[in-house]
Structure 1
Amino acid sequence: MKLNFRKKGSGEPLIILHGLFGSADNWFSIAKELEREFTLYLVDQRNHGDSPHSDEWNYKVMAGDLAELMEDEGIETAYLMGHSMGGKTVMNFALRYPEKVKKLIVADIAPRYYPIHHQTILEGLSSINLHEIKSRKEADDQLAKYVPEAGIRQFLLKSLGRNSAGDFIWKINLSVIMDKIENVGEALDSEGTFDKPTLFMGGANSNYIQEKDKKDIDRFFPNNHLIYIKNAGHWLHAEQPQAVVDTVKAFLR
């Protein structure tokens, strides 16, 4: 699949993948701090942002999408960074195509299985009648019945767009995400290892990377370094952007 992406900066290629319900836009503030040192590829994964929709949605095909993007762009090797679902994608990619990855950064996700925990968000998004709402404010009011946190609603509603006729649409493929949400939490399934430098960057206030996860991290990524960003939860790049930028620069240098 030909993915939508934004390319900016100069230097060695650094490809960044967003998490579930996100898009390339989520990383713009980080990109501004990195584009002087790297050629950045901010990617919309399939069924997200401005990339195509597909009924096929799992980490095997998402890793294949990334391989196709690199081939199309003539990128032999790159630094890869992924957050949450994007972190699972880049982990799968590194195990399948280790020769294409210089260094790997995984933001607030581990190789293990995660149970479904987005039901309320999915219920809230599906409750919004796109044919009836007249404004984003109306969508926000409806979503607030399910998601009280304004910041999370603002993030989710970035996926609310308009078509050529001016009607509201979801940029995310909401029906497929609802139907196949279990795929997002899948554990890594591989006999291989990725031996090059790998940074696991967790949020200190998040429970996504736990002490029990170190065993799996060491198994798949033996050359790893695990750090936690202070005063940050799961969306560490939004909550502590400068700390994330400084950590990424130090690791890639």
Structure 2
Amino acid sequence: MLLNVIERGPDVSSEATPLPPVVLLHGLFGRARNLGFVQRRLAATRRTLALDLRNHGDSPHGPMSFRIMADDVRETLEHHNALPAMLLGHSMGGKTAMMLALRHPECVHSLLVVDIAPGEGGFTRMDVPAELETLDFPPHLDRAGADALLRPLIPSEAIRQMMVQNMRLGDNPGWSIGLADIMTALPTIMSWPELPPGTQYDGPTLFIRGEISPYIQPKNYPAMRRLFPHYTLETISGAGHWVHVDAPKRFAELVEKFAER
């Protein structure tokens, strides 16, 4: 599946010092533009491609698994002549990036995973209640009305606003994303598949975790070391799961430092 891409790059390309492109992969219920601020910074010197993963943003819809999503990313980057690439993925996008690196290491120059480990973790159905699939939309909906419509189902302000961005507003309101496919795949997205013995990615790997997020814990370190033997880990103080939102300056500094390597 070819995914929707937002591409940015420097005004003047330098053929003398070609650098691998940077590919940005968002988390569950996100979209390519969620990492726009760091994409703009990197695009001053690098070719960058931010992707809408399947069922998200403006990409096509269909069944989901990390193998399927990794294949989507590979197919899309091949189509855009953007391999090998540095992959930066947050949450679900981080698991997708890890899967691509583990299954097709020749496609991945380096890997940066944001606040997710190769294991259980991510959203739950409590975060995104099943009632969303049968939500009764009014004839017309604006942003304020969308927030009010979701408030009884999603108490969390951050999650509610993220879901509002996935709504089609105006005179024909509804979900713009493949919500049914996403909800069916939630158990898969929450988990991590079994991989053949000896599977690993030997390239440079950086994990960035939020200090107050639960998704990278010491119990995850053995799997991280087994699969990514050259990984390093950075913790951003005071940040939660949305590290790039909670601490954008420090997050961008770590990303840029890793990219410069």
TM-score bin, normalised by smaller chain: over 0.9
Per-residue Cα deviation, 1:141-168 (whole angstroms, up to 9, x for no partner): 12111322323322221111258xx411
User: Would the aligned equivalents of 1:109 and 1:209 in 2 still touch at CA under 8 Å?
Assistant: yes
| Paired position in structure 2 for 1:7 | 7
| Paired position in structure 2 for 1:50 | 58
Equivalent runs, 1:139-154 vs 2, <5 Å = 139-154=146-161
Equivalent runs, 1:179-218 vs 2, <5 Å = 179-191=184-196, 192-218=199-225
What 5-or-longer segments of structure 1 have no aligned partner?
A: none
Structure 1 residue 131: deviation in Å? 4.2
Is 2:145 the counterpart of 1:138?
yes
| Paired position in structure 1 for 2:98 | 91
Count of residues in Structure 1 that have an aligned counterpart in Structure 2: 250
Structure 1 residue 116: deviation in Å? 6.1
| Paired position in structure 2 for 1:177 | 182
Per-residue Cα deviation, 1:56-88 (whole angstroms, up to 9, x for no partner): 211111111011111111123110010100001
Per-residue Cα deviation, 1:170-220 (whole angstroms, up to 9, x for no partner): 122111112221110221422310011100111111010001100000010
Structure 1 residue 133: deviation in Å? 5.0
Structure 1 residues 176 and 42: CA distance shift in structure 2, 3 A: same
TM-score (norm 2): 0.90
Identity %: 36
User: Would the aligned equivalents of 1:115 and 1:182 in 2 still touch at CA under 8 Å?
Assistant: no
CA distance in 1, matches of 2:251, 2:258: 11
Structure 1 residue 124: deviation in Å? 5.7
CA distance in 2, matches of 1:162, 1:145: 19
CA distance in 2, matches of 1:205, 1:148: 20
Q: Could you tell me which amino acid in structure 2 is paired with residue 122 of structure 1?
A: P
In structure 2, which of residues 18, 25, 41 is the aligned counterpart of residue 17 of structure 1?
Answer: 25
User: Would the aligned equivalents of 2:127 and 2:159 in 1 still touch at CA under 8 Å?
Assistant: no
CA distance in 2, matches of 1:209, 1:196: 20
Structure 1 residues 197 and 211: CA distance shift in structure 2, 3 A: same
User: Would the aligned equivalents of 1:108 and 1:234 in 2 still touch at CA under 8 Å?
Assistant: yes
User: Would the aligned equivalents of 1:133 and 1:139 in 2 still touch at CA under 8 Å?
Assistant: no
Per-residue Cα deviation, 1:216-250 (whole angstroms, up to 9, x for no partner): 00010000001111121001111111111100111
RMSD, matched Cα: 1.8
Equivalent runs, 1:25-64 vs 2, <5 Å = 25-54=33-62, 56-64=63-71
CA distance in 1, matches of 2:156, 2:191: 27
User: Would the aligned equivalents of 1:2 and 1:65 in 2 still touch at CA under 8 Å?
Assistant: yes
User: Would the aligned equivalents of 1:229 and 1:240 in 2 still touch at CA under 8 Å?
Assistant: yes
User: Would the aligned equivalents of 1:18 and 1:83 in 2 still touch at CA under 8 Å?
Assistant: yes
| Paired position in structure 2 for 1:65 | 72
User: Would the aligned equivalents of 2:130 and 2:183 in 1 still touch at CA under 8 Å?
Assistant: no
TM-score (norm 1): 0.92
CA distance in 1, matches of 2:88, 2:195: 20
CA distance in 1, matches of 2:235, 2:71: 30
| Paired position in structure 2 for 1:248 | 255
**SS at 1:32 equivalent:** helix
In structure 2, which of residues 227, 234, 243 is the aligned counterpart of residue 227 of structure 1?
Answer: 234
Structure 1 residue 252: deviation in Å? 1.7
User: Would the aligned equivalents of 1:199 and 1:225 in 2 still touch at CA under 8 Å?
Assistant: yes
Structure 1 residues 187 and 151: CA distance shift in structure 2, 3 A: closer
